[in-house]
Amino acid sequence: MTRRVLIAGLGDIGVLTAIKLAKHADVVGISAKPGLVSGQELGWRLARPDEWARHNWVPFGRFRGLDRVRAVHGTLTGVDLDSRAVTVTETDGATTAFGYDVLVIATGVTNGFWRRPTLQTTDEINADLRGPHERLAAARSVIVVGGGAAAVSSAAQIATTWPTKRVDLYYPGDRALAGHHPRTWATVQRRLSEAGVGLHPGHRAVLADGFTGDELTTDPVQWSTGQPPASADAVLWAIGRVTPNTGWLPADILDEHGFVTVTPELQVPGHPEVFAVGDVAATDPLRSSARNRADGLLAGNVRAVLAGKAAADLKSYRPPKRRWGSVLGIQPDGLEVFAPNGRAFRFPAWSFERVLLPWIVNRGIYRGVRGD
């Protein structure tokens, strides 16, 4: 009898996991979107949304690896871990129960206006892409608040796309990218300065209770660190205030912050048939499993559980100590990727569209992506 794997969430890591399991089980994926809407590359999304969407907003039907996967467009509303079933409210308002033999939780996090779990149509997603871009395009000056990769890439992309704008980046520490190797920040700092971005270390913004930065604002930014307020036509908040999308899960499988508790094998303690991966999983302080391609390890462990293998046969996820990868995103002169030790290697601009995306990403990682 074919066993069912239910994947809750078809974002970046959910899609990759579904592709790897499609030939080994009856795979059902639940998604609030009608396709993959990546949470990556915020700066590219804001500055050049049409280019970003070609590679990061992909209807599920274009993925050859998902041909055997049933994608259900709906919102997860609950789970019964004892009876092994989730409940989903679909687009027509009907509530349906889906049973499973293995459940993979990959529902991610809410972060600003660019990563939300809301049920959306194609038109609503397209409007979400255009709105912030048009506001930034009309602004003569932009403040970016935050010290992570999303803030840094946004400042760089806005400055290089609209070189006549005044763009300023404010961050609380002595340097941005605190989770990366110092060598990474040294290179990125130089790139930002060359793009004309004003850098303002040691600025911690005053945030009202409950403020999440889920929209562009225009009011002056106040600082708890004593500096005078800063003003711009548009303020982008990339402050890393993420909320795990776990409201549909029981509290006893969550940590004190609402993330899913997992073992090194990415299993939920006490529930060996339930796994979690990506930003929603409390794997390590950086919750790095999605960015370190744990989909392969997870798929192997799921197959082992379906085959009835012993726990000792499962592999453990070992997170890196530092963040790595692309920081600034695709630039006119190419794509720069940083290793965990801070060393950078560059893909020249010509190779991005001719080699990296069609061969390494679309064919190698996603196992084939059809054209529009």
Mean pLDDT of the chain: 94
Residue range 100-141, pLDDT digits in tens: 999 999 999 999 899 999 999 999 999 999 999 999 999 999
**Average pLDDT over every residue of 237-256:** 95
For helices 49-56 and 122-138, what crossing angle results, to 10°?
A: 150
Q: Are residues 105 and 196 in the same domain?
A: no
Q: Does any domain span residue 365?
A: no
275: how many CB neighbours lie within 10 A of its CB? 27
Confidence (pLDDT) at 126: 96
Which is higher by pLDDT, 330 or 45? 45
Q: Are residues 150 and 249 in the same domain?
A: no
Confidence (pLDDT) at 1: 66
Confidence (pLDDT) at 97: 97
Please, which contacts does 184-189 make with residues 24 or more away whose CB atoms are closer than 8 Å? 184/327, 184/338, 184/342, 184/344, 186/342, 187/336, 187/338, 187/342, 187/344, 188/152, 188/156, 188/327, 188/328
Q: Are residues 151 and 288 in the same domain?
A: no
* For residue 240, pLDDT beyond 90: no
Range of the domain at 341: 130-238+327-352
Residue range 288-315, pLDDT digits in tens: 898 788 999 999 999 999 999 999 999 9
Percent of the chain with pLDDT over 90: 81
Residue range 39-90, pLDDT digits in tens: 999 999 999 999 999 999 999 999 999 999 999 999 999 999 999 999 999 9
Q: Are residues 54 and 160 in the same domain?
A: no
Residue range 10-35, pLDDT digits in tens: 999 999 999 999 999 999 999 999 99
The whole model's pTM is what? Answer: 0.94
C-alpha dist (Å) from residue 360 to 51, 60, 306, 363, 367: 18, 19, 30, 6, 9
Q: Are residues 146 and 216 in the same domain?
A: yes
Can you read off the two tokens belonging to residue 108? 């991610």
* Residue 12: CATH number of its domain: 3.50.50.60
Of 156-160, 221-225, 237-241, which gets the smallest average pLDDT? Answer: 237-241
